[in-house]
Amino acid sequence: MTCSEFSQNPTQGRLLAVGDIHGCRGLLQELMRQVAPCAEDQVVFLGDYIDRGPDPRGVIDYLLDFRQQWPQTVFLKGNHEAMLHNFLAGRERLRYLLNGGTTTLYSYRKKGQLTIPPSHLQFLRDLRLTFETEHHFFVHAGLRPEVSLKNQKEEDLLWIREDFLKSKYRWGKTIVFGHTPMGKPHLKPDRIGLDTGAVYGRDLSCCDVIRQKIWAVRA
């Protein structure tokens, strides 16, 4: 369905989610070219914009411009943004470096100094942990089973893997998440997983979570 088709019926705008980008700006630009967001759409980015990939700084620049054009966009925090925050605060520095943080730090080096623009720091501070609609719940990593949506802990929202992935617990909404790389999007009535390993030479994926339509690009 194209932008013009949506514009004929604004109530049918798409609810779009984008998986982990990890510095792959070129893939992100091509993916958004194919998706072609409309004014009636809302895009939710699931976190992990930085680290490992070739252009972390460029990804943040792109997302800031994207927000200017589409102010209803939602940006969630990933565990890599949380690790950068801790690094800048002087905490768990080795953990960040061992998890791909060097590419991000290098992208912000200027004359031997780490120089992160204020707009980028504010973007990182403003990231949300979750986003919720009537039928969908968006989060970076997943949820702790047997715990209500409102009582989830930040550590789980950003880092959980197997306990969430293996659980059959239901929260009453479709959980849309990234964080755990998969060979292809995980599309189930109650769960949609969209980290398809772009930074490892696989796909960067976007999903219209209402219609479960997928767009994917690969380097």
pLDDT tens string 63-106: 999 999 999 999 999 999 999 999 999 999 999 999 999 999 99
Q: How many domains does the chain have?
A: 1
- In this prediction, residue 3 carries a pLDDT of 54
The CATH number of the domain holding residue 49 is: 3.60.21.10
Say if residue 33's pLDDT is above 50.
yes
Tokens of 169: 């617990």
Domain of 191, in residue numbers: 3-218
pTM equals 0.94
- In this prediction, residue 9 carries a pLDDT of 46
Element (DSSP H or E) covering residue 174: strand 174-177
Q: What's the mean per-residue pLDDT of the chain? A: 95
Exposure on the CB side of residue 178, measured as CA atoms within 13 A: 32
Q: In percent, how much of the chain has pLDDT > 90?
A: 93
